[in-house]
Amino acid sequence: MKEMGSPPNGEGVREGGLDAPTRHPIAWREEVFYDQHSIDEELKRVFEICHGCRRCVSLCAAFPTLFDLIDESSTLEVDGVAPSDYSKVVAHCYLCDLCYQSKCPYVPPHEWNVDFPHLMLRAKAGEFRQGKVGFSRKQLTNTTRIGKLASIPVISEAVNGANRSPTMRKLSSGILGIHREAELPVFHRHADTARKRVENLSRISVEPKSDSRTRGRVAVFVTCYGNYNTPEIVIDLVKVLRHNGIDVKLVDQEQCCGMPKLEIGDLASVDVFKQANIPLLSDLVKTGWDVMAAIPSCVLMFRQEIPLMYPEDADVQAVKAAIFDPFEYLIYRHRAGLLNTNFRCELGRIAYHAPCHQRVQNIGPKTKELLALIPGTELEYIERCSGHDGTYGVRNETYEASMKIGRAVFRRAEEFDSAVIASDCPMASARIAHGIAGKKLALHPISLVRKAYGI
Ligand code: SF4
Ligand code: SF4
């Protein structure tokens, strides 16, 4: 396991790193990774650095929780905070990665070696190992299983009906810990899932054109949420890609990307999903397909977290190199002169939110760039956390905090005179629509592009 850096009071330590950030592999297979004493020592070391810095105070509730613990302690320093209280900070981190990617000057290779999100992940993994993650959180993160069950006809109607019923919501708040006011997704019957609906679309035979970055053949990783909750996004993605002369098929037999399990520190389950997905995806890559998913968290999982868990695995690295965000892909095609820019409908005014898990991929604002190509389109560009972030946004313990984090985004979305709020993350756009009492229609930007094409 990587030795941690010098203490923050070391002389000669540079203020802020000048070199490009790097990331150490996640040492999840080493026993010391889960050792509580070792985790607490590392938390204390990093908390001391954060206490002296405080740049991240506005990003999420983890940092204000830490600084309140310090400021209310008898010593006014980290040594005055009981290690048993460190978990209060960990509970408010939903691994958005923004502090690492956008704020922290002390990330590796700086000698202080601060990787706050991955330290939170380690602490979560320690808690999971010790059985501190409850039944409801384990169930809520079984997204494939929930989707399969809830797509059975009759059950889907029952689930959707229960989610709309105040009485049933009171019950699920008690049993599953889902906040009564949190917005919940609609589940589609098996016949209406993305997989079934794409099967019914006619496959267009095209001769794929490649360019320096893309191969013109895309296997869509459907995602649990895309398949069971928002099939229209997958349909729109397939249609837009085919309209651009790209050969498209869906990845067969895929499992959850593992992000929901990562967020609760259940790394054994992440491993199970990795063992199922990587052989499928790497075979596709080896046979000439690029891979794409319309949910940024799932792309981030294959692009960053799984590669850091399996740095020596060539198949994982091959998938990392061949997976794309949809708009990143379309912009590469545009730069190569391969994008159809014959947009027939204007989009008007759109409140557009760039989600954290897309921003931290360091691909630049590609959705904004593409939407700007559509005539008669005016964007309000909102680059701030919506507060949703997986189960954090719906659980009893964190719903209020998550709504507080999203408030600034809700206000900007509401004040901009538009009928639509769009985000590449459908959970984020649903949260924003919820935060403004459903005053705007939540759409994925790929659905807007399909609309602009008039297809
Ligand atoms: S990763 Fe995101 S949620 Fe976690 S501490 Fe950093 S900014 Fe906060
Ligand atoms: S994570 Fe980095 S930037 Fe954020 S408070 Fe800690 S030391 Fe400062």
pLDDT of residue 1: 53
Question: What separation in Å is there between the alpha carbon of 122 and the centre of ligand 1?
Answer: 13
172 and 202 housed in the same domain: no
Cα separation, 319 vs 291, in Å, equals 8
197 and 257 housed in the same domain: yes
Instruction: Classify burial at 22, counting beta carbons within 10 Å of its beta carbon; exposed 0-12, middle 13-18, buried 19 or more.
Output: exposed
Q: Which of 105, 129, 153 is the last residue of a domain?
A: 129
254 and 271 housed in the same domain: yes
pLDDT tens per residue across all 455 residues of the chain: 544 444 444 444 556 666 778 899 999 999 999 999 999 999 999 999 999 999 999 999 999 999 999 999 999 999 999 999 999 999 999 999 999 998 899 999 999 999 999 999 999 999 999 999 988 888 888 887 887 787 787 777 777 777 888 888 888 788 888 899 998 888 888 888 999 998 888 777 788 899 999 999 999 999 999 999 999 999 999 999 999 999 999 999 899 999 999 999 999 999 999 999 999 999 999 999 999 999 999 999 999 999 999 999 999 999 999 999 999 999 999 999 999 999 999 999 999 999 999 999 999 999 999 999 999 999 999 999 998 878 899 999 999 999 999 999 999 999 999 999 999 999 999 999 999 988 999 999 999 999 999 99
Question: What separation in Å is there between the alpha carbon of 180 and the centre of ligand 2?
Answer: 34
At 398, give phi and psi (nearest 5°). -125, -5
Q: Which of 278, 302, 332 is the last residue of a domain?
A: 332
Q: Is the minimum distance from the CB of 103 to ligand 2 under 6 angstroms? A: yes
pLDDT of residue 207: 86
Ligand nearest to the Cα of 117, by number: 1
Ligand nearest to the Cα of 50, by number: 2
pLDDT of residue 381: 97
374 and 397 housed in the same domain: yes
202 and 315 housed in the same domain: yes
Residue 156 lies in domain: 135-186
| Residue 106 falls inside a structural domain | yes
Q: Is the minimum distance from the CB of 307 to ligand 1 under 6 angstroms? A: no
61 and 99 housed in the same domain: yes
CATH number, domain of 411, equals 3.40.50
Question: What separation in Å is there between the alpha carbon of 148 and the centre of ligand 1?
Answer: 31
Question: What separation in Å is there between the alpha carbon of 115 and the centre of ligand 2?
Answer: 9
pLDDT of residue 286: 98
pLDDT of residue 18: 65
Ligand nearest to the Cα of 62, by number: 1
Q: Is the minimum distance from the CB of 62 to ligand 1 under 6 angstroms? A: yes
pTM of the model: 0.93
| Residue 84 falls inside a structural domain | yes
CA-only gyration radius of the chain, Å: 22
Q: Is the minimum distance from the CB of 116 to ligand 2 under 6 angstroms? A: yes
Position in ligand 1 atom list of the atom nearest CA 389: 3
Position in ligand 1 atom list of the atom nearest CA 97: 1
Number of domains present in the structure of the chain: 4
Position in ligand 2 atom list of the atom nearest CA 116: 1
198 and 322 housed in the same domain: yes
Contacts of range 59-62, beta carbons closer than 8 Å, 24 or more positions apart: 59/96, 59/98, 59/99, 59/103, 59/385, 60/92, 60/93, 60/94, 60/96, 60/98, 60/99, 60/385, 60/405, 61/92, 61/398, 61/401, 61/404, 61/405, 62/89, 62/90, 62/92, 62/93, 62/120
Give me the sheet containing 420-423, strands edge to edge.
Answer: 377-382, 348-353, 420-423, 441-443
139 and 124 housed in the same domain: no
260 and 292 housed in the same domain: yes
The closest residue, in CA terms, to atom 5 on ligand 1 is: 93
CB atoms closer than 10 angstroms to residue 201: 12
359 and 439 housed in the same domain: yes
Question: What separation in Å is there between the alpha carbon of 417 and the centre of ligand 1?
Answer: 31
pLDDT of residue 10: 44
Q: Which of 286, 315, 332 is the last residue of a domain?
A: 332
119 and 248 housed in the same domain: no
Q: Is the minimum distance from the CB of 228 to ligand 1 under 6 angstroms? A: no
Q: Is the minimum distance from the CB of 49 to ligand 2 under 6 angstroms? A: yes
